[in-house]
């Protein structure tokens, strides 16, 4: 579902380019879950953003659901995200002007993959029944993150990417959200790549890779 | 629905959640459109009236034959031309007073006009041919003219000179203030038997037709139609003035729109990032934003156009009165709105929205998907760009100064004002920031220090509204000083110019002779100063020629701009003329220069003896010795007199003249009545400008209110900590109120020097270019004080609602500021 080959990425620094990723290779199959850990600044989020097509790599190869990303334009990469990639961020990133119901359906709708029955199931599984008419600012952090997970899964992505999804939540709420996420990932059969600081959470996934010095170990 | 549709729906949901912002945007754009389109409706209506008047007889593209000096000529020339095979039709027109109102009477010959007319006069030979041509004849007028003059269909109203009009009928297409009759009737009514004003030349030219020279020699010359009429050219400056003020109001409105769009963009930046992450391409997002802007602009534009119609309808009577009083141009009292007006108004709205949103759309192109959420970024950017704005302000001031030195024309004058206004507006936040910084340094109590610092922080959010307020206040001060200065100068000038005690105008030369004889028998009349006038043309423009007696009275009361006391003696020689300021400016004339004036007796070589002020007259004018005038214009009737007599004898003489000769009220007037009338015309002249200025100030007030309401929520993180530390909400609200008032007061103070600069530009540059006269600059500190108070009241009204909202804000909302889960 996801193939990453010899991926390089550097950023401009005051003393010249700073290499963040230095030849990353990675493979993730359908239904497989993978945790990516590493120190702050090790390039975990950068790798996630490259895989999502939010940023461009210097060189290498990224193939998502059979589509090589690096040769695609902005519009092409956006199309891949609409079709195949679900994203969950630490900051939830819900759209403040939309209700919970509309936030949940947003990506599925723009991807032309809105399935009311599946959305109903997600709402039930995520426990969002009573919150559908509310706006994000009227929700707690745990509730917002559940909506964000629901939004990412509503379009039945091939690949779910999560960047510190429980980083803003307390441990109990984080665990609950994680349980739901893993349950739904298993239900949809998508591949799941999660960036986290927590080895405890990482241990709950099928595989665990550590990023250090721009390479995976 | 396609991705762009969902993206658009998502973008639009922002306005549902922020209705005040939506109202700000729509109100700002609607007001901007309203003032602009209102002014355009006025201009369009006036121009339509001019065009109607031009195309009245045979369409606007018909050549005419006239005497070189423009005077009426014998109809024998017409007969000679017809016999020679020329397709010509005679016209006689002239002024006529009816029920105290002056109208234009046009006499036509429907028979010869047939076949060459495409104008409204064609109606005369079709629908009305028989009654129009045969006794008791017929008078045609537009329905609104009948209404204005209080005439009834079929009636035969009496004229002020005692004659009666043929039965009245309506012809809808005639321009306002115009009556049309058969040419024979017109000759009788105007006392011009056997005369015609001009001949319209038809397109038919039979082979072997003799040339014009062969038939009439130099007595008539062919005038080809000009793209613009004299009235249209003369009133151009007035319409440009209106357009400039409309544009100013539009710009002030755009400040609101820019502010609302900029804020909305920054608030939606995180949402846009999320949309991009969810798969919305940059192209789709841009398209959705453009569609959103288009739909909002269309809604606001439609509201604005309706409001614009209301503005135009409210101002039209004053505009019509101004054009009649100042230029003698008649404008219809009813608005006729064309499709072009709607289209151009909507196009202006869309262009305005585009300009206001251009910055945000450009930012969108550069918006990185991974840009962190920065809801305050917009405010921070304002502060960051301050030095750049100061440089731009200085560049604008420099450009204005260069234009002042090297620029020519009215547009250049307005560009100077635009540069000064925009430069001042851009410099405002920088100046205010420094003043507030100084205040912060001087403050001793921690709360006062916070207040100054917070004002500075708030400045970034209020800058655009304060800039709009500055523009409106400066324009008000500038225009107020110009009008006030004009009023003072005009009053002095009237005293100077209207030195005689009574002014009389006879109907006919015969009556004039009788009046002269009557006056000779009145011992109280110490001087009878006859005056005669004619029209001529200089440098392609009409000029008035006034024959007068250079009485010693004028030497003492009449102040000449240039030319000394000897100027009066030079005029008496018959070889010199006094020229008014506007003519001197247009033709760059100075004392000693010579001009060749076309007259019926050939070109008249005149030396410029001096120049004089002639406020309110759009035409160039020359004053020449009466005796020499009569020699050049022997056919012009002597009907006007200025009389000198002791003031206490004035009422009795006026009563006697009216009783003896049946003179109407407008034909014999004392000095004070004329002055009162002139002042009334003067005051109406600036009613429209004053109204536009007040509306602009209102728009600025709305801008301030909307900015404060928008900032109220954004500022909670600044206010909540103080509340948490024990400062009461009531005190915080009062401090907020005080801050806004202080900012408005500072803006008003800074508007004063800017307004004085505008006033100077108006009197020294724009007026000279627009009207031809220059006024001394007068300053009115009391008016500044009034505007200062008005600015404070505007700010108070704008800030009272947000302050009350803060006062009454539930603690639960303030607590949210400290919550991570917010």
pLDDT tens-digit readout, A168-190: 778 888 888 888 889 888 988 89
Inter-chain contact A97–B6, Cβ cutoff 8 Å?
Answer: no
Inter-chain contact B10–A95, Cβ cutoff 8 Å?
Answer: yes
In a domain, residue B240? The reply is no
Min Cα distance B373 → chain A (Å) is: 9
In a domain, residue A73? The reply is no
Domain limit, last residue, from B321, B343, B375:
B375
Whether B436 and B555 share a structural domain: no
| B286 neighbourhood in chain A, CB within 8 Å | none
Q: What angle do CA A81, B6, B273 make, to 5 degrees?
A: 50
| Residue A95 at interface with chain B, using a CB cutoff of 8 Å | yes
Q: Which one of B151-165, B451-465, B648-662, B717-731 scores highest in mean pLDDT?
A: B648-662
Q: Which residue of A has its CA nearest to B19?
A: A97
pLDDT at B799: 84
Rg (CA), chain A: 17
For a pLDDT cut of 90, what percent of chain B falls above it? 12
Inter-chain contact B282–A98, Cβ cutoff 8 Å?
Answer: no
User: CB of B235 within 8 A of CB of B112?
Assistant: no
pLDDT at B52: 64
| A79 neighbourhood in chain B, CB within 8 Å | 279, 281
Interface of A with B in 17-56 (CB under 8 A): 49, 52, 54-55
Inter-chain contact A110–B273, Cβ cutoff 8 Å?
Answer: no
Higher-confidence position of A150 and B461: A150
Inter-chain contact B3–A151, Cβ cutoff 8 Å?
Answer: no
Whether B514 and B658 share a structural domain: yes
| Residue A156 at interface with chain B, using a CB cutoff of 8 Å | no
The CATH code of the domain that includes A187 is 3.40.50.300
Whether B276 and B415 share a structural domain: no
Find the domain containing B371 and state its range.
1-55+247-375
In a domain, residue A22? The reply is no
| B821 neighbourhood in chain A, CB within 8 Å | 139-141, 144
Whether B626 and B741 share a structural domain: no
Tokens representing B207 are 């082979």
Domain limit, last residue, from B315, B344, B375:
B375
Inter-chain contact A98–B13, Cβ cutoff 8 Å?
Answer: yes
Domain limit, last residue, from B347, B375, B403:
B375
- Number of domains within chain A: 1
pLDDT band at B295 (very low <50, low <70, confident <90, very high): very high
Inter-chain contact A75–B282, Cβ cutoff 8 Å?
Answer: yes
pLDDT band at B373 (very low <50, low <70, confident <90, very high): very low
Inter-chain contact B822–A109, Cβ cutoff 8 Å?
Answer: no
Q: Which residue of B has its CA nearest to A86?
A: B278
| Residue B6 at interface with chain A, using a CB cutoff of 8 Å | yes
Condensed to tens digits (0 to 9), the pLDDT of residues A17-37 reads 888 999 999 999 999 999 999
Tokens representing B348 are 């202006």
What are residue B642's phi and psi, to 5 degrees? -110, 135
Min Cα distance A189 → chain B (Å) is: 20
Whether B518 and B654 share a structural domain: yes
Nearest to B279 among A55, A91, A111 (CB): A111
For a pLDDT cut of 70, what percent of chain B falls above it? 87
Higher-confidence position of B244 and B648: B648
Q: Round to whole Å and give the CA distance between B491 and B487.
A: 6
Which helix (H) or strand (E) segment is B364 a member of?
helix B339-365
Is a pLDDT exceeding 90 seen at residue B718? no
In a domain, residue A43? The reply is yes
| Residue B274 at interface with chain A, using a CB cutoff of 8 Å | yes
What three-state secondary structure class fits A85?
A: strand
pLDDT at B109: 85
Dihedral (Cα; B407, B692, B298, B468), 10-degree rounding: 70
Q: Round to whole Å and give the CA distance between B791 and B747.
A: 9
| A85 neighbourhood in chain B, CB within 8 Å | 279
Whether B150 and B30 share a structural domain: no
Condensed to tens digits (0 to 9), the pLDDT of residues B40-64 reads 888 887 777 766 665 555 444 567 8
Higher-confidence position of B772 and A191: A191
Is a pLDDT exceeding 70 seen at residue B681? no
Inter-chain contact B281–A98, Cβ cutoff 8 Å?
Answer: no
Inter-chain contact A135–B6, Cβ cutoff 8 Å?
Answer: no
In a domain, residue A163? The reply is yes
Q: How far is CA B429 from CA B358, B473, B743, B745, B770, in A?
A: 21, 16, 10, 14, 33
Whether B756 and B670 share a structural domain: no
| Residue A12 at interface with chain B, using a CB cutoff of 8 Å | no
Q: Round to whole Å and give the CA distance between B173 and B123.
A: 9
pLDDT at B129: 58
| A84 neighbourhood in chain B, CB within 8 Å | none
Average pLDDT score over residue span B692-708: 78
- Number of domains within chain B: 4
pLDDT at B689: 73
Is a pLDDT exceeding 60 seen at residue A208? yes
Higher-confidence position of B491 and B438: B438
pLDDT band at B745 (very low <50, low <70, confident <90, very high): very high
Nearest to A109 among B6, B13, B281 (CB): B6
| A140 neighbourhood in chain B, CB within 8 Å | 821
Find the domain containing A106 and state its range.
30-56+81-216
Whether B360 and B296 share a structural domain: yes
Min Cα distance A76 → chain B (Å) is: 8
pLDDT at B56: 54
Whether B323 and B439 share a structural domain: no
pLDDT at B364: 80
What are residue B717's phi and psi, to 5 degrees? -60, -25
In a domain, residue A39? The reply is yes
| B281 neighbourhood in chain A, CB within 8 Å | 74-75, 78-79
Q: Which residue of B has its CA nearest to A80?
A: B279
The pTM is what? 0.66
Is a pLDDT exceeding 60 seen at residue B655? yes
- What is the dihedral sign for C-alpha A99, A102, A105, A107? negative
Whether residue B136 is preceded by a cis peptide bond, meaning omega within 30 degrees of 0, is yes
The predicted complex's ipTM stands at 0.82
What three-state secondary structure class fits B575?
A: coil
In a domain, residue A66? The reply is no
Condensed to tens digits (0 to 9), the pLDDT of residues B228-275 reads 445 565 566 667 667 777 777 788 778 778 877 877 887 888 888 889
Inter-chain contact A96–B17, Cβ cutoff 8 Å?
Answer: yes
| B284 neighbourhood in chain A, CB within 8 Å | 75, 78
In a domain, residue B242? The reply is no
| Residue B370 at interface with chain A, using a CB cutoff of 8 Å | yes
In a domain, residue A123? The reply is yes
pLDDT at B321: 72
pLDDT at B59: 47
Residue with tokens 């038919």: B204
What three-state secondary structure class fits B220?
A: coil
Whether B85 and B127 share a structural domain: yes
pLDDT at A29: 92
Whether B160 and B20 share a structural domain: no
Q: Which residue of A has its CA nearest to B277?
A: A54
Residue with tokens 């909202």: B805
| A106 neighbourhood in chain B, CB within 8 Å | 6, 10, 275, 278
Average pLDDT score over residue span B520-527: 90
| Residue A137 at interface with chain B, using a CB cutoff of 8 Å | yes
| Residue B54 at interface with chain A, using a CB cutoff of 8 Å | no
Tokens representing B644 are 């000198």
pLDDT at B622: 93
Averaged pLDDT of chain B: 81
Averaged pLDDT of chain A: 89
| A49 neighbourhood in chain B, CB within 8 Å | 370
Average pLDDT score over residue span A134-160: 90
Higher-confidence position of B407 and A143: A143
pLDDT band at B500 (very low <50, low <70, confident <90, very high): confident
Condensed to tens digits (0 to 9), the pLDDT of residues B533-588 reads 888 888 877 888 999 887 777 777 788 888 777 888 899 899 999 999 888 988 88
| Residue A92 at interface with chain B, using a CB cutoff of 8 Å | no
Average pLDDT score over residue span B698-715: 75
User: CB of B617 within 8 A of CB of B772?
Assistant: no
Whether B252 and B191 share a structural domain: no
Inter-chain contact B278–A168, Cβ cutoff 8 Å?
Answer: no
Higher-confidence position of A27 and B509: A27
| A78 neighbourhood in chain B, CB within 8 Å | 276, 279-282, 284
Is a pLDDT exceeding 80 seen at residue B651? yes
Q: Round to whole Å and give the CA distance between B796 and B804.
A: 12
Q: Which residue of A has its CA nearest to B365?
A: A74
Residue B94, Cβ density class (10 Å: 0-12 exposed, 13-18 middle, ≥19 buried): middle
Higher-confidence position of A205 and B457: A205
């Amino acid at each position: 579902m996801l193939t990453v080959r010899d991926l390089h990425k550097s950023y401009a620094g005051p003393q010249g380019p700073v290499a963040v990723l230095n030849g990353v290779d990675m493979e993730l199959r359908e239904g497989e879950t993978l945790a990516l850990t590493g120190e702050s600044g090790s390039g975990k989020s950068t790798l996630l953003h490259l895989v999502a097509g939010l940023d461009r790599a210097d060189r290498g190869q990224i193939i998502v659901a059979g589509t090589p990303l690096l040769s695609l334009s902005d519009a092409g990469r956006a199309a891949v995200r609409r079709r195949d990639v679900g994203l969950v961020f630490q900051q939830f990133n819900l759209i403040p002007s939309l209700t919970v119901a509309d936030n949940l359906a947003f990506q599925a709708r723009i991807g032309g993959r809105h399935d009311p029955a599946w959305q109903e199931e997600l709402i039930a599984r995520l426990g969002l029944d009573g919150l559908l008419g509310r706006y994000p600012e009227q929700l707690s952090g745990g509730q917002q993150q559940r909506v964000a997970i629901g939004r990412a899964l509503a379009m039945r992505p091939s690949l779910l990417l999560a960047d510190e999804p429980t980083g803003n939540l307390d441990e109990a709420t984080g665990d609950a959200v994680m349980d739901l996420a893993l349950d739904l990932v298993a239900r949809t059969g998508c591949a799941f790549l999660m960036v986290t600081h927590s080895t405890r959470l990482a241990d709950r996934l099928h595989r665990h890779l550590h990023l250090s010095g721009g390479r995976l170990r | 629905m396609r991705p762009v549709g969902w993206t658009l729906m998502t973008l639009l949901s922002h306005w549902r959640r922020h209705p005040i912002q939506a109202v700000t945007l729509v109100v700002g754009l609607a007001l901007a459109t309203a003032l602009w389109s209102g002014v355009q409706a006025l201009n369009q209506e006036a121009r339509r009236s001019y065009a109607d008047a031009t195309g009245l007889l045979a369409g606007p593209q018909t050549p005419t034959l006239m005497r070189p000096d423009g005077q009426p000529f014998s109809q024998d020339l017409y007969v000679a031309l017809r016999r020679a095979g020329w397709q010509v039709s005679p016209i006689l027109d002239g002024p006529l007073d009816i029920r105290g109102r002056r109208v234009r009477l046009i006499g036509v010959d429907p028979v010869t006009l047939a076949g060459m007319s495409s104008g409204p006069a064609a109606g005369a030979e079709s629908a009305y041919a028989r009654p129009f041509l045969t006794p008791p004849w017929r008078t045609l007028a537009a329905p609104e003219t009948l209404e204005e003059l209080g005439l009834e269909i079929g009636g035969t109203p009496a004229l002020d000179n005692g004659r009666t009009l043929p039965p009245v009928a309506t012809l809808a297409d005639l321009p306002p203030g115009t009556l049309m009759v058969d040419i024979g009737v017109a000759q009788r009514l105007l006392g011009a038997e056997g005369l015609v004003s001009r001949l319209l030349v038809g397109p038919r030219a039979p082979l072997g037709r003799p040339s014009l020279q062969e038939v009439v020699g130099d007595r008539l010359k062919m005038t080809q139609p000009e793209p613009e009429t004299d009235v249209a050219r003369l009133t151009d400056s007035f319409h440009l003035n209106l357009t400039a003020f409309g544009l100013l109001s539009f710009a002030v409105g755009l400040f609101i729109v820019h502010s609302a769009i900029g804020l909305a963009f920054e608030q939606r930046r995180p949402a846009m990032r999320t949309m991009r992450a969810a798969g919305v391409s940059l192209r789709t997002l841009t398209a959705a934003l453009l569609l959103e802007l288009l739909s909002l602009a269309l809604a606001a534009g439609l509201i604005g156009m309706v409001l614009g119609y209301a503005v135009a309808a409210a101002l039209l009577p004053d505009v019509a009165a101004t054009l009649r009083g100042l230029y003698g141009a008649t404008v219809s009292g009813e608005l006729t709105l064309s499709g072009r007006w709607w289209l151009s108004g909507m196009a202006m709205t869309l262009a305005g929205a585009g300009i206001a949103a251009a910055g945000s759309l450009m930012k969108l192109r550069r918006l990185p998907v991974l840009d962190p959420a920065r809801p305050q970024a917009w405010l921070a950017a304002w502060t960051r760009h301050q030095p750049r704005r100061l440089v731009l302000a200085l560049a604008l001031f420099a450009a204005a100064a260069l234009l002042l030195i090297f620029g020519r024309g009215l547009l250049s004058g307005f560009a100077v004002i635009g540069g000064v206004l925009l430069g001042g507006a851009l410099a405002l936040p920088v100046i205010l920031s420094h003043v507030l910084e100084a205040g912060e340094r001087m403050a001793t109590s921690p709360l006062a220090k916070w207040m100054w610092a917070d004002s500075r922080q708030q400045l970034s959010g209020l800058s655009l509204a304060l800039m709009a307020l500055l523009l409106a206040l400066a324009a008000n001060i500038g225009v107020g000083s110009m009008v006030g200065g004009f009023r003072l100068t005009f009053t002095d000038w009237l005293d100077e110019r209207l030195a005689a005690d009574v002014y009389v105008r006879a109907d006919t030369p015969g009556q004039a002779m009788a009046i002269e004889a009557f006056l000779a028998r009145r011992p109280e009349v110490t001087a009878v100063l006859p005056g005669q006038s004619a029209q001529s043309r200089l440098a392609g423009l009409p000029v008035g020629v006034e024959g007068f007696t250079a009485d010693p009275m004028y030497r003492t009361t009449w102040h000449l701009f240039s030319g000394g006391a000897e100027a009066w003696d030079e005029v008496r020689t018959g070889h010199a003329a006094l020229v008014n300021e506007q003519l001197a400016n247009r033709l760059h004339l100075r004392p000693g220069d010579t001009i060749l004036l076309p007259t019926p007796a050939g070109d008249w070589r005149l030396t410029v003896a001096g120049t004089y002020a002639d406020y309110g007259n759009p035409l160039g004018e020359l004053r020449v010795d009466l005796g020499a005038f009569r020699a050049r214009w022997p056919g012009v009737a002597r009907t006007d007199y200025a009389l000198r007599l002791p003031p206490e004898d004035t009422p009795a003489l006026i009563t006697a003249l009216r009783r003896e000769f049946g003179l109407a009220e407008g034909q014999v007037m004392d000095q004070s009545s004329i002055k009162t009338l002139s002042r009334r015309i003067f005051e109406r002249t600036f009613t429209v400008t004053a109204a536009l200025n007040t509306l602009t100030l209102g728009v600025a007030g709305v801008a301030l209110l909307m900015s404060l309401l928008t900032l109220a929520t954004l500022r909670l993180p600044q206010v909540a900590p103080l509340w948490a530390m024990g400062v009461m909400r009531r005190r915080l609200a009062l401090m907020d109120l005080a801050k806004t008032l202080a900012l408005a007061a500072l803006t008003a103070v800074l508007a004063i020097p800017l307004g004085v600069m505008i006033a100077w530009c108006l009197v020294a540059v724009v007026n000279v270019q627009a009207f031809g006269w220059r006024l001394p600059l007068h300053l009115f500190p009391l008016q500044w004080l009034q505007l200062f108070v008005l600015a404070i009241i505007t700010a108070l009204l704008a800030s009272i609602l947000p302050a009350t909202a803060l006062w009454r804000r539930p603690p639960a909302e303030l607590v949210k500021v400290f919550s991570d889960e917010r």
